[in-house]
């Protein structure tokens, strides 16, 4: 009897050993019951239970206007690099590694950051209205998809080094809404067929990164807060900038993400690869303010006040 119990405990140990460090999304649980879904990610990385986790639900009534949050300055974002982009299905999303290093700065930040990769999170691509998949939400409302452009401080060499450095990482987040067709995404979307399964990679001709984003003149309104990466290791120390203006893709374009799978050819489709909102724990979400520059707004108020005064004098 004791030998049987010992054998069973050894089997259990081997079984649990095999899955340590294996995290997944809720939609993968049927296929991989041993994997840890978002509520249990802290069992894979303790930091996932930290006090500054991402994503968050942004309650617009509670945001703090910060006049230092001027429009960001972009360098090399409108340049088409010479090196190919590397697409990879990493079993959680489609990730695009950038070989050139577009940078951004300004917007109340103390330094510049260089882009290293971008990836997306989504719900059910064919039915974005029913199961939207953005990670952040505004007043509880989610978008079909969210684009993350991951940056590291310009004075560090890679993400590993950035994690060891204060304010080492900065992510620019863009909501994606179902709207008209976006021709700028055609090349990227056509490559999804080539990275259907986990571990698949493909190269594509680079694009100016700005071509995948809303027009630069629409990027003045954004939210800012201190958070974490939204996948294990859930590293904290990430400066988040979430733009109000969404990227537009058509329903047909969103549906192309249905080609992707979490694992091999007979695995389930890659759907709902987002982390639920995390508690703010007293953190403030800052807001860059209205789209009308303040001096102009003041002039309008002044003109209004003047016309009221003149009309009252006329009576």
pLDDT digit string, tens, across residues 210-269 = 999 999 999 999 999 999 999 999 999 999 999 999 999 999 999 999 999 999 888 889
Q: Is 261 a catalytic residue?
A: no
Burial 138-157 (b: 16+ CB within 10 A, else e): beeebbbbbbbbbbbbeebe
Mean pLDDT of 68-79: 96
pLDDT (0 to 100) of residue 59: 97
| Secondary structure (3-state) at 286 | strand
Selected residue with higher pLDDT from 294 and 304: 304
pLDDT (0 to 100) of residue 262: 95
The chain-wide mean pLDDT, for the chain, equals 88
Mean pLDDT of 5-11: 38
Q: Give pLDDT tens digits for 194-204.
A: 999 999 999 99
pLDDT (0 to 100) of residue 216: 94
Contacts with 36 (C-beta within 8 Å, 6 or more apart), sequence order: 19, 22, 23, 24, 43, 44
What is the distance between the alpha carbons of residues 235 and 54, in angstroms, rounded to a whole number?
10
Decide if pLDDT at 6 tops 60: no
Whole-number percent of the chain with pLDDT over 70 = 85
Decide if pLDDT at 4 tops 60: no
Contacts with 292 (C-beta within 8 Å, 6 or more apart), sequence order: 300
Beta bridge partners of 307: none
192 in Cβ contact with 94 (< 8 Å) = yes
Q: Give pLDDT tens digits for 43-53.
A: 999 999 999 99
184 in Cβ contact with 206 (< 8 Å) = no
Which residue do the tokens 């809720």 mark? 26
Decide if pLDDT at 279 tops 70: yes
| Secondary structure (3-state) at 175 | strand
Decide if pLDDT at 7 tops 60: no
Decide if pLDDT at 14 tops 50: no
With bands split at pLDDT 50, 70 and 90, how would you rate the model's confidence at 301? Answer: low
Closest to 108 measured CA to CA, from 175, 167, 173, 174: 167
pLDDT (0 to 100) of residue 240: 98
- The catalytic residue among 12, 22, 42, 92 is 92
Decide if pLDDT at 276 tops 60: yes
Q: How far is CA 24 from CA 265, 281, 308, in A?
A: 18, 25, 62
What is the distance between the alpha carbons of residues 173 and 230, in angstroms, rounded to a whole number?
12
What is the distance between the alpha carbons of residues 287 and 66, in angstroms, rounded to a whole number?
6
Its pTM stands at: 0.86
Q: Give pLDDT tens digits for 131-146.
A: 999 999 999 999 999 9
pLDDT (0 to 100) of residue 313: 54
Q: Which of 22-31, 95-104, 238-247 has the highest mean pLDDT?
A: 238-247
Which letter does DSSP use for residue 295 in this model?
H
Decide if pLDDT at 87 tops 80: yes
For domain 20-290, the CATH architecture is Roll (3.10)
41 in Cβ contact with 121 (< 8 Å) = no
pLDDT (0 to 100) of residue 125: 87
Decide if pLDDT at 56 tops 80: yes
């Amino acid at each position: 009897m004791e030998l049987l119990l010992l054998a069973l405990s050894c089997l259990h140990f081997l079984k649990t050993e095999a899955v340590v460090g294996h995290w997944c999304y809720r939609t993968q649980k049927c296929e991989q019951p041993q994997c840890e879904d978002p509520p249990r990610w802290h069992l894979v990385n303790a930091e996932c239970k930290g006090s500054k986790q991402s994503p968050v639900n942004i309650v617009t009534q509670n945001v703090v206007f910060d006049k230092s949050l001027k429009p960001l300055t972009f360098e090399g974002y409108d340049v088409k690099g010479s090196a190919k982009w590397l697409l990879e299905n990493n079993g959680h999303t489609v990730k695009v590694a950038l070989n050139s290093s577009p940078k951004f700065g300004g917007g109340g930040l103390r330094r510049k950051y260089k882009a290293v990769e971008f990836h997306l999170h989504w719900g059910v691509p064919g039915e974005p209205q029913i199961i939207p998949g953005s990670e952040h939400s505004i007043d509880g409302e989610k978008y079909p998809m969210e684009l993350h452009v991951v940056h590291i401080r310009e004075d560090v060499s890679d993400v590993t080094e950035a994690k060891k450095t204060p304010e080492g990482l900065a992510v620019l987040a863009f909501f994606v809404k179902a709207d008209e067709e976006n021709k700028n995404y055609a090349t990227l979307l056509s490559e999804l067929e080539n990275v259907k399964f986990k571990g698949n990679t493909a190269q594509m001709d680079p694009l100016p990164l700005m071509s995948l984003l809303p027009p630069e003149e629409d990027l003045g309104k954004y939210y800012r807060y201190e958070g974490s990466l939204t996948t294990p290791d859930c590293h904290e120390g990430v400066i988040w900038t979430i733009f109000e203006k969404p990227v537009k893709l058509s329903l047909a374009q969103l549906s192309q993400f249905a080609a992707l799978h979490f694992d091999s050819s007979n695995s389930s489709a890659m759907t709902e690869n987002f982390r639920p909102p995390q508690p703010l724990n007293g953190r403030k979400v800052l807001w860059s303010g209205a789209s009308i520059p303040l001096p102009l707004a003041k002039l309008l108020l002044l003109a209004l006040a003047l016309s009221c005064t003149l009309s009252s004098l006329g009576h």
